[in-house]
Amino acid sequence: MRMNLRDFRKSQHDLEWELPAWGHPISQGVMPLLIGVRGRLFPVGTIFATGKKVQFLITATHNIDQIVKEDPRFANVIGQGRLEGSHDLSDGYALYALHHRVDGEKVYLTLWPLEKIDGASPTDVVFAHPQFSTGIQTLVTPISFDIPAVREVVLSIGYSEFNYPDQGIDLETVKSGGFDWLGAYSHKLFVTEGTVERIFTQKFASGYVAGPCFAFSPEIRHGMSGGPIYNANGNICGVNSAGASMYFGEPMSLGSVFYPMLTRPLRFGAKFGPVTINASHTMLDLIAHGTLTTDGSEQHVAFTSNEPGGNIVAHPRSHFDNSGFVHDDFEAFQQGKGASKLNGEFMRIKMSESEPEN
């Protein structure tokens, strides 16, 4: 399903505009993210859906930092404040996507629990597997692993200006059906039209988006973090990570990219009557089996073995025209240094028997 996200822009010169807070089709795939801490719910950002045969939700890792810092289960696994590997949450801690659908004049809301979390430190991207539900339909857009082109126009989506009770939303009241979502809670849904300015293949800066990302103008609003960034072809090329105006001296944002996740295992489960089956597969395997929908750009990524650990590392392809705008990190950008490059040539994988070998 494709839609024109510029329909609600009042002027072609506007770089930011609002979509309807409730009922816009994009909300079937892009949702508010809430954290649950000791029985209270707090909206913290944005999360979006992917996956056909198995549903996954994607957000920015820093959106769940409060959970990571407080949940004792993470005490021995957090390095530099970022999530690494697969984890479940302790009792009293939870993550939820707020899904809704509109039928006529009625708005039906579902608090959708997230069960399994997979992060890939130091990136700011986390995949979550939600609780199985047959009643929730999501809008899925293909993921792109290509680095966006410099000067490419992108669209960033996310929620902001959350209003809710000062002490948080009482979870028990929600579960009993007593919380007035449309009266005691509200949000706004924003679109930002930006232009890609710089690309950072290693990180932006230590302690601030410490994974591969790209800079795009202007600056996104607080709360839009974790939302999707759409490239010029309408595919999702990144995740909203942070504002970066203080670094560039002009309105600027950072979007994290997906390619470091390609070799990481993602966990998921499915229920068949009373039986629950859990599995774990790399993103590459899930793509090959049609579980994750992409634009085919995973074929543009090269892979090397990281000795002595033997980890497989993904290396993206960037168009030659980008070369003067691609850097290892912000420090290299300040020094006028281009990005590090791989040496040698890589074998192109034979895709079918009819394809001639090189």
11-20, 109-118, 164-173, 303-312: least confident range = 303-312
Sorting pLDDT into bands at 50, 70 and 90, what band is 88? low
93 against 84, higher pLDDT: 93
**Which stretches of the chain are assigned E, i.e. beta strand?**
16-19, 30-37, 40-50, 56-60, 85-87, 93-103, 106-119, 125-130, 153-163, 169-170, 186-200, 213-217, 228-230, 236-243, 253-256, 265-272, 275-282, 302-306, 311-315, 326-327
Rg (CA), the chain: 20
Sorting pLDDT into bands at 50, 70 and 90, what band is 241? very high
State the greatest distance between any 2 C-alpha atoms of the chain, in Å, as a whole number. 65
118-122, 152-156, 238-242: least confident range = 118-122
Contact 241, 254 (CB under 8 A): yes
pLDDT tens sequence across 6-31? 999 999 899 999 999 999 999 999 99
Residue 333 Cα to chain centre, angstroms: 25
Q: Are strands 169-170 and 125-130 parallel, antiparallel or unpaired?
A: unpaired
Contact 180, 200 (CB under 8 A): no
85: helix, strand or coil: strand
pLDDT at site 83: 46
pLDDT tens sequence across 303-345? 887 766 667 888 887 777 777 899 999 999 999 998 887 654 4
- CATH 2.60.40.10 describes domain 16-132+141-256: no
| Average pLDDT, integer, range 79-108 | 69
| Average pLDDT, integer, range 173-192 | 94
Average pLDDT taken over every residue of the chain: 85
Supply 222's token pair.
Answer: 């607080």
91-95, 115-119, 152-156: least confident range = 91-95
pLDDT at site 349: 39
Sorting pLDDT into bands at 50, 70 and 90, what band is 274? low
**What are the residue ranges spanned by the domains of the chain?**
16-132+141-256, 261-319
